[in-house]
């Protein structure tokens, strides 16, 4: 029985035709011919590592036109396909319309008529030090620290001669006290030695002072000297500018550039203080008070807590 079953299996396997017999019976198989042609082409190509930095097709001498990606053709009513892509056309933004910007500035001025810098200071030097200490810290906390600091080191020369342990102990509660101590000590040294003890009145000179980046320089120039060299972009201005649709960027430098384009220069200083105060009192980060906001009708933020339109 086993011998007969094995014979039947062998005869059944032998009766299965191979691909040559199938080709004779059914005609040529395009898939088999395609794979045979590709296999023979691959065998004729040199190995890829034999020609460093070049693909096998390029090493085999293929024409550059065969290796170049085809260009996407454009079509439309303007003419036949040209093979080039049109640059994206800028979409009109109604949130940057001059009428809306003017209305927004007018409402801010009425809503925050007494907006000013919240850092306590008596001169440009004290404002510079207070602004350096306000990084990653609230203005309220800085105002608690600066009186004792300025009683001990009232001038840039005195600050330059202070020891780091003394400064660190005085500014410890503002956070990052070691870095801030080095910054205000270095600021006192540079202003005393290079600027004769006077805080510079230009942006180019002020940003060379340790700890005085562009935001700090704009605060000092605008508040202490009344010079509009830029727009102060702190966390509140950054958040509200994006919320009101005045910018789409997240980097402070790019936000400032956008605001300087759409805000009149004579409003740069007041605009920052008004927006900061508005962000602290009305448009708070966790839960904006949209029902009490004077800008609500001109604000199209998607996460408003209340809307009239």
Q: Are 248 and 293 within one domain?
A: yes
Q: Which CATH number belongs to the domain containing residue 288 in this structure? A: 1.10.1670.10
Please tell me whether residue 76 adopts helix, strand or coil conformation. strand
Beta-bridged to residue 79, according to DSSP, are 76
Catalytic residue among 215, 253, 258, 304: 215
Cβ–Cβ under 8 Å, residues 279 and 271: no
pTM beyond 0.85: the answer is no
Q: Are 177 and 258 within one domain?
A: no
d(CA 59, CA 56): 5
Of 186, 202, 224, the one marking the end of a domain is 224
Q: Which CATH number belongs to the domain containing residue 136 in this structure? A: 1.10.340.30
Residue 199 lies in a domain: yes
Residue 14 lies in a domain: no
Reply yes or no on whether 215 is catalytic.
yes
Q: What is the mean pLDDT of the chain?
A: 82
pLDDT of 26-79, one tens digit each? 566 665 665 566 666 555 655 545 444 444 445 445 555 554 555 554 444 444
Cβ–Cβ under 8 Å, residues 87 and 95: no
Q: Are 155 and 210 within one domain?
A: yes
Indicate the burial class of 203 (C-beta count within 10 angstroms; 0-12, 13-18, 19 or more).
middle
Q: Are 146 and 213 within one domain?
A: yes
Cβ–Cβ under 8 Å, residues 235 and 215: no
Of 189, 224, 259, the one marking the end of a domain is 224
Q: Are 139 and 266 within one domain?
A: no
Residue 35 lies in a domain: no
Q: Are 146 and 284 within one domain?
A: no
Q: Are 198 and 214 within one domain?
A: yes
d(CA 149, CA 129): 10
Instruction: Provide the pLDDT for residue 15.
Output: 54
Domain count for the chain, please give it: 2
Question: DSSP state, 280?
Answer: H
Q: Are 241 and 110 within one domain?
A: yes
What's the domain range around 237? 99-114+232-298
Q: Is 49 left (phi over 0), alpha (psi -120 to 50) or beta?
A: alpha
Residue 195 lies in a domain: yes
d(CA 91, CA 80): 25
Instruction: Provide the pLDDT for residue 37.
Output: 66
Q: Are 107 and 161 within one domain?
A: no
Instruction: Provide the pLDDT for residue 95.
Output: 78
d(CA 159, CA 152): 9
Q: Which two tokens stand for residue 73?
A: 């053709």
Reply yes or no on whether 258 is catalytic.
no
Residues 6+ apart with CB under 8 A from 142: 119, 130, 133, 134, 174
Q: Are 220 and 289 within one domain?
A: no
Catalytic residue among 234, 258, 287, 303: 234
Residue 303 lies in a domain: no
Q: Are 157 and 208 within one domain?
A: yes
Indicate the burial class of 120 (C-beta count within 10 angstroms; 0-12, 13-18, 19 or more).
middle
Residue 54 lies in a domain: no
Of 191, 224, 257, the one marking the end of a domain is 224
pLDDT of 89-140, one tens digit each? 344 456 789 999 999 999 999 999 989 999 999 999 999 999 999 999 999 9
Task: Please give the C-alpha separations between residue 90 and each of 54, 86, 93, 121, in angstroms, as whole numbers.
Answer: 40, 12, 9, 45
């Amino acid at each position: 029985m086993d011998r007969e079953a094995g014979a039947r299996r062998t005869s059944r396997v032998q009766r299965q035709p191979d691909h040559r017999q199938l080709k004779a019976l059914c005609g040529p198989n395009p898939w088999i011919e395609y794979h045979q042609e590709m296999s023979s082409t691959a065998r004729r190509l040199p190995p890829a590592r034999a020609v460093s930095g070049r693909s096998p097709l390029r090493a085999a001498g293929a024409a550059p036109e065969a290796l170049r990606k085809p260009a996407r053709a454009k079509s439309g009513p303007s003419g036949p396909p040209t093979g080039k892509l049109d640059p994206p056309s800028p979409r009109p933004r109604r949130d940057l319309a001059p009428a809306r910007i003017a209305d927004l500035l007018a409402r801010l001025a009425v809503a925050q008529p007494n907006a000013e810098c919240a850092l306590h200071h008596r001169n440009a030097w004290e404002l510079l030090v207070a602004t350096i200490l306000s990084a990653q810290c609230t203005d309220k906390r800085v105002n608690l620290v600066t009186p004792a600091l300025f009683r001990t080191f009232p001038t840039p020369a005195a600050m330059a001669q202070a020891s780091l342990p003394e400064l660190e102990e005085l500014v410890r509660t503002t956070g990052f006290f070691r870095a801030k101590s080095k910054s205000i000590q270095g600021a006192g040294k540079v202003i005393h030695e290079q600027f004769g003890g006077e805080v510079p009145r230009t942006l180019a000179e002020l940003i060379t002072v340790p700890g005085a980046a562009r935001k700090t320089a704009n605060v000092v120039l605008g508040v202490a000297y009344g010079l509009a060299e830029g727009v102060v972009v702190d966390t509140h201005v950054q958040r509200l500018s994006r919320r009101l649709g005045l910018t789409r960027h997240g980097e402070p430098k790019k936000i400032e550039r956008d605001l300087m384009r759409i805000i009149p220069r004579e409003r740069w200083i007041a605009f920052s203080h008004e927006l900061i105060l508005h962000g602290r009192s009305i448009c708070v980060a966790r839960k904006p008070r949209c029902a009490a906001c004077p800008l609500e009708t001109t604000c199209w933020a998607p996460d408003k807590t209340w809307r009239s339109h």
